[in-house]
Structure 1
Amino acid sequence: MSKILIIGHLNPDTDSITSAISLSYLQNKLGKNTEAVALGKPNEETQYALNYFKTEAPRVISRASDETKEVMLVDHNEFQQAVSDISELTVLAVIDHHRIANFQTINPLYYRAEPVGCTQTIILKLYKEHGIEIPPHIAGLMLSGIISDTLLFKSPTCTDEDIKAAQELATIAGVDLNDYGMELLKAGTNLSGKSAVELISLDAKSFEVNDKKIRVAQVNTVDFNDIFSRKEEIINAINEEISSNHYNLFLFVATNVLDSDSRIIALGDSYLSAERAFNIHLTENEGFLKGVVSRKKQIIPQLTVALSEETVSQ
């Protein structure tokens, strides 16, 4: 039996990596031969969770077709966020909580997408549906994904299902939900050792709107000054990315996990789309987004509308 690789998205976050691990454990219990792999190294937050629950990080790959023809995708579906040779692979399943875009397959597949705050909330349902017991360390990793994606339930993407799932998983994992949650989020805000290039790449996703290439990068912090004291360095790194990859808009988002607000830097020939998207005025390419924490719900949809209206007006 050939091995099936279970893969999260590029620049993986905590949900992406831990979902690959938890789904792989489930699939193996169901008789399949799977391995969780990643399209990048864990960030500090993810590594904190892996260390806490004594789990080895998945090995990092850049291609999959050299070792398998079958994959399962977690926490993403858009091909620009997937493994580089995704078009050469058979996608057996997708477990996701994002919009569906730029995705098609030749063969039928299992597709599970639900409007919840985290992929792990869906995977918990799969464990229950198949009657598979969740070990404490897997429960802890699943909990970590929910805490990360919902910012400990502060994100507007968070649902009652996510909260109930987190409470259940915390009990199995044997941790205090709020205490562990705050420590996990704080671990992800330690950016002092990161270069500007690393900062704008840690958690970045690309998408297209009417042939315009958009890049949205997001980092978490407990003090905006830790990031914006390096604004010139960050802008230079972003402009290098725009030049190399021909992005029309690069939006860098710093989110304060304590106050649930964000500050942005918008660059590229379509940078003014950020003003229309968020109804703000940019000063030296910088703006403040009150109450905005979710890229999925409060940033990308608004940018999509603004960029679409911009194209129509032209």
Structure 2
Amino acid sequence: LKRAGMKPPDMLPSYLAAGTAVALVDHNESQQSMENLKMMRVTYVVDHHRLGDLTTLEPIYLRFEPVGCTATILTKLYRENKFRINQNIALLLVSAILSDTLHFRSPTTTDDDRSIVNYLLPIAKIDNVESYANQIFAAKSDLNSYTMREILFLDYKTFIFNNQLWGVGVVETFYPSNTLARKDELFEAMIDEKKRSNLTGILFSIIDIVKIRNYMIILGETEKFIIQKAFNVNVQDRIADLGSRISRKKDIVPSLERYFKNSN
């Protein structure tokens, strides 16, 4: 946003008037959206995640694609509708794709993501994509000024598995040891959120961007039992090494869903 010279958009108020037309972008599940989504009139959904519990009273525009980033789909919409993409918009779109796909390291990456980035780079006037991606990751990795509660919610979603509510957070960083060194603070934040939101379990993954490795923080016995069974891993010092299974969308959530479905 700073490089594009743009300010962060204002957050929507907690409650909008019932019947307000809304578009859902990069999500579609009610527990990940605004509190009174069911009172809204959803007219558009553009997403690259699984289809959740969304229901509507009338036909709406849906655009789901199994790509690495919703910005890939948004760029397609620009092009299909012959809308001009200026430099700043191109910069934001390409930044989102590089971030979401970990510069194509994520298993969610598709050829569409790569081709869209190649299309956007000259418009965004990015000469060295490797250098620019590393700048993004360095900024994402600078967490010293954040509280552990803030870090927990940087990329956090809730899911329902077998009628159980679980929280799953992720942080992607060049410096996983810095976050792991604050593990006790993280435990406190996770305990607080588990109680506050009445969760069955809460999980938090520290993703090493360089080594492409997932170190999952295991809060208690409930989480330990489920993760050991779902991923066939051991837990040591309250950390489960999930190896290269770094994608919440493609690796973590599907494995948990399969476990709960088979154990039901």
User: Which of 247, 259, 263 matches 1:294?
Assistant: 247
CA contact (8 A) 1:205 1:216 kept: yes
Give unmatched runs, 5+ long, in structure 2: none
Letter in structure 1 aligned against 2:232? N
Distance 1:264 1:54, change over 3 A: same
1 CA distance for matches of 2:39 and 2:221? 34
Kindly indicate whether residue 11 of structure 2 is the aligned counterpart of residue 53 of structure 1. Answer: no
Kindly indicate whether residue 34 of structure 2 is the aligned counterpart of residue 92 of structure 1. Answer: no
Letter in structure 2 aligned against 1:300? V
Deviation, structure 1 residue 64: 4.9
CA contact (8 A) 1:261 1:291 kept: yes
1 CA distance for matches of 2:183 and 2:260? 25
Query: What corresponds to 2:170 in structure 1?
Result: 218
**Residue correspondence of structure 1 range 194-209 to structure 2 within 5 A:** 194-209=146-161
Kindly indicate whether residue 201 of structure 2 is the aligned counterpart of residue 284 of structure 1. Answer: no
Query: What corresponds to 1:227 in structure 2?
Result: 179
Deviation, structure 1 residue 68: 7.2
Query: What corresponds to 1:309 in structure 2?
Result: 262
Instruction: State the SS of the aligned residue for 2:73.
Output: helix
The TM-score normalised by the length of structure 1 is: 0.80
Task: Count the aligned residue pairs.
Answer: 262
Query: What corresponds to 1:122 in structure 2?
Result: 73
Letter in structure 2 aligned against 1:56? K
Dislocated runs of 4+, deviation >3 Å: none
2 CA distance for matches of 1:172 and 1:68? 38
Deviation, structure 1 residue 67: 9.2
Deviation, structure 1 residue 242: 1.1
User: Which of 264, 270, 281 matches 2:222?
Assistant: 270
Give unmatched runs, 5+ long, in structure 1: 1-49
Deviation, structure 1 residue 284: 3.3
Query: What corresponds to 1:24 in structure 2?
Result: none
> In the TM superposition, what whole-angstrom CA distance separates every residue of 1:92-115 from its partner, at most 9, and x where no partner exists?
100000000111111110000000
2 CA distance for matches of 1:139 and 1:64? 32
Distance 1:296 1:241, change over 3 A: same
Kindly indicate whether residue 93 of structure 2 is the aligned counterpart of residue 142 of structure 1. Answer: yes
> In the TM superposition, what whole-angstrom CA distance separates every residue of 1:223-282 from its partner, at most 9, and x where no partner exists?
221011111111111111111212111111000111111101123563111112221011
CA contact (8 A) 2:75 2:116 kept: yes
Letter in structure 1 aligned against 2:148? A
Query: What corresponds to 1:75 in structure 2?
Result: 26
Instruction: State the SS of the aligned residue for 1:52.
Output: coil
Query: What corresponds to 1:154 in structure 2?
Result: 105
2 CA distance for matches of 1:68 and 1:217? 31
2 CA distance for matches of 1:174 and 1:254? 32
> In the TM superposition, what whole-angstrom CA distance separates every residue of 1:191-244 from its partner, at most 9, and x where no partner exists?
111111112111100010111111100011212210111111111111111112
Query: What corresponds to 2:135 in structure 1?
Result: 183
Across the aligned residues of Structure 1 and Structure 2, the Cα RMSD in angstroms comes to 1.4
Q: Which moved more, 1:168-177 or 1:94-103?
A: 168-177
CA contact (8 A) 2:203 2:217 kept: yes
2 CA distance for matches of 1:89 and 1:67? 6
Deviation, structure 1 residue 63: 2.6
**Residue correspondence of structure 1 range 236-251 to structure 2 within 5 A:** 236-251=188-203
Deviation, structure 1 residue 61: 2.2
1 CA distance for matches of 2:129 and 2:149? 33
Query: What corresponds to 1:7 in structure 2?
Result: none
User: Which of 164, 170, 185 matches 2:115?
Assistant: 164
